[in-house]
Structure 1
Amino acid sequence: MFQAQNNFKSFKELNNLEERQTKCKQKLNQHPEMIPVILEKHPKSKMPQLNKSLYVRSLSY
Structure 2
Amino acid sequence: MPNLPLFRDPWARREAWRKHPVFSNRAMFSGLFPGFGIAVVAFTTYVVADKLYLNAKIEEAKHH
| TM-score category (smaller protein) | under 0.3
**By percentage of residues, which structure has more helix?**
2
Max radius of gyration: which structure?
A: 2
**By percentage of residues, which structure has more strand?**
1
Larger relative contact order (Cα-Cα within 8 Å, sequence gap ≥ 6): 1
TM-score, scaled relative to structure 1: 0.27
